[in-house]
Amino acid sequence: MLIRTTQTLKKWIVRLSILIALLLLGYINIRRLNNNIYSNYERAVEYGRVSENKEIIEPIITAVFYKSPAVKKKSVSTYLDHSDNYKEQNVKIVAAPKVLNENSLPVVERLYAEIHKHNDIKKIVLLIENNLGAENHKKILQKTLNIDNIEVVKLSETDISAEGTVEKYLQQDDVLVVALVDLNNFNNMQNNFLADEIIWFSQKYAYKTHVFDAIDTQIAKAADKDYETLFSLSVSKEEPLLKQQQRNLQKYVNQYKPLLLKYFKQNLLLGKEKETIWPAKTVQTYRLYDRGFVYIRFFGENRKELFARAKIGTNKGVIVALVELARKAARKISQPIKSYKIYLLTDFEPLFDDDKTLINDLETDDGIYISYKDKKALMVADERPQKPQDWLKFLYARARVPQNADKADIKLFKFKTVEIENEN
């Protein structure tokens, strides 16, 4: 009797712990939505393709439970393996939001599409407590997974055969169970019967779990599609890509220059110890967090360069890169900063490394980026030495590339820039 009581107590402790973890996950997502420094899906070089009229974005959370040869789980952390892009096989249960609106619909469609790509499913069982959302999910499942064999099963907490019904489907191969729950309604999770059931089954069958979520509508809309098919280019397709990106960057700077400079200057003047100032995400500041490459040069007396640093390939938001570089400069530079130059960079295009091709391929406003093993450096157009034959020498020295380096290990790229001019 004591052993059975202990086992029952342990079972309910684990179930309660998982519920608490899901509540916390919902809370964290809402906090991320309201005030965070996570980068947007949008890139600054594609500015102008995405509508500026952002509506309120709701946090959408779905959970996926799948078979794995992993050891049976004993802790909550093993259940909640957060993943931005779910790509697993052997899916058995999906917990999806009941109500589908313009924010949650693209996320659910993307999730079902991912499951369809990696799983061979012959039948779907749609578990519901009431009819809310059932018809919409059924249509989406039929369309996305191309399956007509969908059985809608209505369960209630008072139904003593509910667990046996669900278990019957889970034991069948090629069957996917989709439970419509309110995972993002963290205030009412304790009354969510279906959520409690699927968590219990995940414990019983030692299913692994991924949480699939999106707080940016644009992420969902652009998922698994060519970005250019969603948003029209701002200029002719015949124009070179770097030129298009440069134009888009100029539009971005024209729109957001005052805000970018405001937060850059504030953090540059904070000193070493004070806390970093981040702009909260609002309708006015949201696009500051578009992803982008940033390069900054700081100058002292007589235009002597004191410090230069870039944020390249880190998928950081433009404002995040600017603020981090401002804070780094404040710590590293001991002399008075008289001026600075801020550059936003386009993507990189490969270059050949012989002098003739290098000179012929470059326009007057092109910068050059060099990569050699773990050594990397760049120079923007207004840093290029007067003699073209000195360009590579300058880059080799800046990147500290050995004189005897193998040419095959050296990669060169060109890019264009837009400068954010300091008006002070």
pTM given for the model? 0.52
Contact 297, 329 (CB under 8 A): no
pLDDT of the residue at 75: 38
For residue 2, pLDDT over 70 is answered with: no
Ramachandran angles phi, psi of 89, nearest 5°:
-105, 175
pLDDT for 324: 92
pLDDT reported for residue 405 = 84
Angstrom distance (rounded) from CA 219 to CA 316: 16
* Rounded (5°) CA angle 173-88-133: 75
Segment 2-29 shows an average pLDDT of: 68
Q: How confident is the model at residue 332 (pLDDT cuts 50, 70, 90)?
A: confident
Burial annotation 79-106 (CB, 10 A radius, 16+ → b, else e): bbeeeeebebeebbbbbbbbebeebbbb
Q: DSSP labels for 117-161?
A: HH---SEEEEEESSSTTHHHHHHHHHHHH----EEEEE--TT-TT
The model's pLDDT over 338-362, given as tens digits with 9 standing for 90+, comes to: 889 999 999 999 887 665 566 777 8
Residue-level length of the chain: 424
All residues at 6 or more sequence positions from 214 whose CB lies less than 8 Å from its CB, including other chains: 60, 106, 107, 110, 220
Q: DSSP assignment, residue 205?
A: T
Reading the block at residue 113, the tokens are 């599409």
* Predicted local distance difference test score (pLDDT) of residue 64: 63
Other C-beta atoms lying within 10 Å of the C-beta of residue 323: 25
Q: How confident is the model over 211-233, as a mean pLDDT?
A: 37
Reported as a single tens digit per residue, the pLDDT across 387-396 is: 888 888 898 9
**Residue pair 202/214 in contact by the 8 Å Cβ criterion:** no
Higher pLDDT, 92 or 158: 92
> Residue 70 above 50 pLDDT?
no
